[in-house]
Amino acid sequence: MLLTREDIAAMYAGGVDAVSGVIAQLQAISVAQQEQIRTQQEQIAVLSARVKELEDQAKTTSRTSSKPPSSDGYARPPRSLR
């Protein structure tokens, strides 16, 4: 809810009831936004864990785990630059 200076002046002129009504609306919006933020934070935590799991999976080769060499794929292992 975006209020202009004129809107605020009109509410102020309307008295306590007008101002308290707008404050109640803003509080309701705030509660809804907090719930949405909480839900998004939970989703971010789940997705971050999944990304970490997939990154760890991608790092494993037959040299760093008990996987057979045939599961490494067709790419050649990098040669030492020494």
pLDDT in tens, 20-65: 888 888 888 888 889 999 999 999 999 999 999 999 888 777 777 7
Residue 21, domain extent: 7-51
Domain-located, residue 36: yes
Looking at residue 46, its pLDDT comes to 97
pTM over 0.85: no
Task: For Cα atoms 74, 77, 82, give the angle at the middle one, nearest 5 degrees.
Answer: 155
Count of helix runs (H) and strand runs (E) in the chain = 2, 0
Domain-located, residue 15: yes
Distances in whole angstroms, Cα of residue 59 to Cα of each of 37, 50, 53, 54? 33, 14, 10, 9
Domain-located, residue 17: yes
Contact 11, 22 (CB under 8 A): yes
The band of 1, judged by pLDDT with boundaries at 50, 70 and 90, is low
Domain-located, residue 29: yes
5-9: average pLDDT: 87
Q: Specify the number of domains making up the chain.
A: 1
Domain-located, residue 13: yes
Neighbours of 61 (CB within 10 A): 14
